[in-house]
């Protein structure tokens, strides 16, 4: 599976920030609904928490949308 790299400058990014930063969502207001409705996996485990910290090397897969790898740098 090919992953689209999403580069971050800090040690971590929250799942909510990630969804906006990766241009998956336009606004933070849609995040809660999006997390409830979409099948999102972080490193293979289902994830619904907006505040989940994503770090370098983490893999995010959103069914029907795409696969992403968090890269620090």
DSSP-assigned letter for residue 29: G
| Per-residue model confidence (pLDDT) at position 29 | 85
Q: What is the pTM of this model?
A: 0.92
Count CB neighbours of 43 within 10 A: 11
List pLDDT tens digits, range 6-58.
999 999 999 999 999 999 998 888 998 999 999 999 999 999 999 999 999 99
Which domain CATH number covers 33?
Answer: 3.10.290.10
| Per-residue model confidence (pLDDT) at position 21 | 93
Q: At residue 67, does pLDDT exceed 80?
A: yes
Domain limits at 8? 4-72
| Per-residue model confidence (pLDDT) at position 14 | 98
| Per-residue model confidence (pLDDT) at position 28 | 80
| Per-residue model confidence (pLDDT) at position 1 | 72
Total structural domains in the chain?
1
**Region of residue 19 (phi > 0: left; psi between -120 and 50: alpha; otherwise: beta):** alpha
């Amino acid at each position: 599976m090919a992953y689209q790299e999403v580069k971050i400058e800090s040690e971590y990014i929250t799942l909510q920030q990630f969804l906006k930063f990766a241009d998956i969502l336009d606004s933070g207001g849609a995040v809660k609904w999006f997390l409830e409705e979409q099948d999102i996996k972080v490193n293979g485990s289902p994830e619904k928490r907006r505040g989940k910290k994503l770090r370098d090397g983490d893999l995010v897969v959103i069914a029907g949308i795409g696969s992403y790898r968090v890269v620090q740098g």
